[in-house]
Amino acid sequence: MNLIFMILSIVDIIIGLMIAYPTFILFTSIVIFYTSLIYVGKGLWSIFSSLAGGYYYDWMGVLDVVYGAALFAIYSGISNGIFYWIGIIAIVEGIYSFFRSL
């Protein structure tokens, strides 16, 4: 189970890089689009499953929805300076999750 959490935390770090540096050559627009859909779905799944379990403070699920929305805005051509900081938060969350899963 820890391996799954480690992989997801590495994906969070990559998402943070996608948000902070969207013009990097590997991050094509179609990759950003599908990643935004996956992350919004992942965040909503996390929020709803936490609510069903009686946990009302799922901050990581909310951040996943924010990451997905930021990626969709980047895909749509909306550029804002706050996206860099959202990407940095995603990277820090990924590092936190990685070390927590060790």
Tell me the pLDDT tens digit for each residue of 24-61.
777 788 889 999 999 999 999 999 999 999 999 999 99
The answer to the question of residue 7 being in a domain is: no
Q: Is the pLDDT of residue 84 over 90?
A: yes
The whole-model pTM stands at: 0.89
The answer to the question of residue 79 being in a domain is: yes
Q: Tell me how many domains the chain contains.
A: 1
The answer to the question of residue 57 being in a domain is: yes
Print the domain residue range for 37. 28-85
Give the pLDDT mean for 3-25. Answer: 90
Residue 12, CB-side half-sphere exposure with 13 Å CA sphere: 27
The answer to the question of residue 96 being in a domain is: no
Q: Is the pLDDT of residue 5 over 80?
A: yes
Measure the CA–CA gap between 36 and 55, rounded to whole angstroms. Answer: 25
